[in-house]
Structure 1
Amino acid sequence: MMKILNMNTRYLLIFLVFISCKIFSQEQNYIPYRKGKVWGLCDAGKFITVQPQYSSISWYDESVRGFHAELNGKFGIIGPNSTLVMPFISDKPIAVDNGEFLVFDGWSYYYYSMKTRMRLEKQIQTTGPPVNDRGWVRGIEPFYRGDIKEIVLSWEDLSDEDIEMLKPYNNDQYELNFKRDFIEIGAGDTYIGIYIPQLKKIFLNTPELAHIGWKYYGGIPYIYTMDTSNLMGLVDAYSREVYPNKYHEITLVDVDQLIYLSEPDPKNHNNLIFKTILPSNRVLNGRFESAMVIFKNGQPFQLYYTMINGQKNYAGEDGTLYFEG
């Protein structure tokens, strides 16, 4: 009888843990949603869970068991069902310290009970600011010291096959300019083309088109081209056009399987029109970067973000925009 009871208790605990994880993951899945100038929350299917009404809103912060939101210059915490976890009384996002809320009233930090929401004692400041909230994702700027010299190819990096391929151009009539992963071939003021050792292939220029570099994307090599108007295009290893020469810049980001395109605005040539091509080949207007993976219908769902007016606006891998206006 005791064994059965213990087994049932164990299953009950597992069930409770499972349920708590499901609730937690659901809260984590809510996405900051912008309508015009105000923010709320929605799920991956764009179902609104918190009506847009706040100046800003964060991702779910487990430490405060809610979402940091800003209203009329004050910060508070709301739950996913619009319940007020902590009123809008802080001049800075509310943090948690020693198991209590930490609120800044414009002059000092005060503790508030996480259970009763009642004001407690004033915080005795120590060195350094209070713990930052974890609702907003902040990047860490890399630290650089000194100039970094570009690593380029040399003759020692080339195989016998490479040297044989370059033999017609390895003389006084031509100039070989070694780059990081290809070699420029020139003749006086004329740019002849490029040789790519990894592909064992020379790409010769034409009067209308020059080859200026290359990159692997999805395991496939692509070669950047430039026309006489300094507009970029892209061809494959067989010189078949992938993108026409109409872009100011083409960037292939293999790690995230993203393609960034920018082209001159036909209405104003001083402006550029940016587009992002997702792994699904869906096209988003603007430059989007990978944000995080959540779950939609039980399946992993990639989110991307673009910066608008200093805040992150989100889109899904299926092209869904979680912002409007």
Structure 2
Amino acid sequence: MDIKYLWIFLLFISCTMFSQELDYIPYRRGKVWGLCDANRRVMVQPQYYSISFYDHSVGGFHAEQNGKFGIIDKNSIQIMRFISEGMPISISGDTYIVFDGFDLYRYSIKSKMRLDRFVTVSNTVLNDSGWSSSKTYEGKMIRESLDEEDWKMLKPFDNDQYSFNFRINYLEIVSNNRSIGIYIPKLKKIFLDTPNITHVGVQIYNGKFYVVTTDSNGWLFGLMDENSNELYPIKYLSIALIDGSGIIILSEPDPNNQNNRIFKTILPDNRILDGEFYPDSKILKNGYPFQLYFKMVDGQKNYAGEDGTLYFEG
């Protein structure tokens, strides 16, 4: 074989293997973790307390055993032994950074031997008061946010009998501490309450406005579109439209436990996952981009794919 084509072939093989590692997903079986691919083929048998996605910086996967972190490759062979107490091993220059339970130390990447103590330099910038936190603002509307057309719409309610509570993208119309309805300036539309329906909020999803509703009890919620068409009946404890992700998260009371709630997540193609899932990273599945979602279980992310595949069991 021509040496030029041999090198191209070897480069292709190495890139393929490398990309496969990037597409490995942390996979849970019961209380232990391993790795699988997007088709749920197990690549590393579950045996670790936790495991990460592939980390370019360390050239492997962070794994945890008995409270100590190490680094493994795709065949579960140790790249760096399990010696870091309670935190993953990182890289600084040409050394590993390992926490021994009291302090950080540098280890040689080549020999894996301990070198010296690792000294960190804080980059925290304090504000004038000496605290590192910053102020946040809610960004509610104010009266000056409304234009002439808004006030024409609100004229029947702009008197001493009514008051307005300004929110981020709508305002509440109130009389004698009782809700009358809401007004959405972007739609130039008032949604008046009825004996059976109270309008209590607004969510924006894929560029459209949706109105949250409740009944006289006020503890269960529903959802309608901007034309007052009911999308979800008033039976949910929460309805969250995750704008930009295409997912909707619903929760209902648990009929077997009044202190519990049952979550369901509706994916963009209307598949339903049990639990409260949020968008995570994208990987490749059979050569095509593939969205992953996660839910938290015992403080760790458990993954599902856009096709409904669950990468955990038990």
Aligned: 1:289 with 2:278: yes
Q: 1:157 aligns with which of 125, 135, 145?
A: 145
The answer for the alignment partner of 1:201 in structure 2 is 189
Q: 1:52 aligns with which of 41, 46, 54?
A: 46
Query: In 1, are the aligned partners of 2:249 and 2:263 still within 8 Å (CA)?
Result: yes
The aligned residue for residue 176 of structure 1 is 164
When residues 166 and 102 of structure 1 are mapped into structure 2, their CA distance, relative to the original with a 3 A threshold, is: closer
Q: Deviations along 1:220-249, whole A, 9 cap, x unmatched?
A: 221110112221100011211101111111
Tell me what 1:277 maps to: 266
1:27 to 14, 21, 26: 21
What residue is the counterpart of 1:81 in the other structure? 75
- Name the CA distance, whole Å, in 1 between partners of 2:172 and 2:101: 61
TM (norm. structure 1) is: 0.82
CA shift digits 1:22-58 (9 cap, x unpaired): 3222101000000001110000010000111111111
Deviation at 1:110, TM superposition (A): 5.7
Cα distance in 1 for residues equivalent to 2:149 and 2:184: 12
Single out whichever of 281-290 and 36-45 deviates more from structure 2. 281-290
* 1:111 has 2:107 as partner: yes
Does the CA contact (< 8 Å) of 2:141 and 2:168 recur in 1? yes
Shift of 1:60: 1.0
Q: Which 10-residue stretch deviates more, 187-196 or 293-302?
A: 187-196
Q: Which moved more, 1:46-55 or 1:74-83?
A: 74-83
Pair 1:120-2:108 in alignment: no
Q: Which one-letter code corresponds to 2:35 in the other structure? A: L
2:225 aligns with one of 229, 236, 243: 236
Q: Is the 8 A contact 1:153 1:180 kept in 2?
A: no
Range that drifts further, 167-176 or 234-243? 167-176
CA contact (8 A) 1:274 1:285 kept: yes
Match of 1:135 in 2: none
Q: 1:128-147 to 2 correspondence within 5 Å?
A: 144-146=133-135
Residue of structure 2 in register with 1:313 after alignment: 302
Contact 1:110–1:119, Cα closer than 8 Å, also in 2: no
Q: 1: distance between equivalents of 2:209 and 2:160? A: 31
Take 2:294 and 2:225, find their aligned partners in 1: how far apart are those partners?
29
Q: How many equivalent pairs are there?
A: 301
Task: Give the aligned partner of residue 186 of structure 1.
Answer: 174
User: How large is the RMSD of aligned CA atoms in angstroms?
Assistant: 2.7
Please tell me whether the aligned partners of residues 212 and 225 of structure 1 are also in contact (alpha carbons under 8 angstroms): yes
Q: Mind listing any 5+ residue stretches in structure 1 that lack a counterpart?
A: 130-142
% same residue: 54
Q: Secondary structure at the match of 1:165?
A: helix
- Which amino acid is the alignment partner of residue 57 of structure 1? I
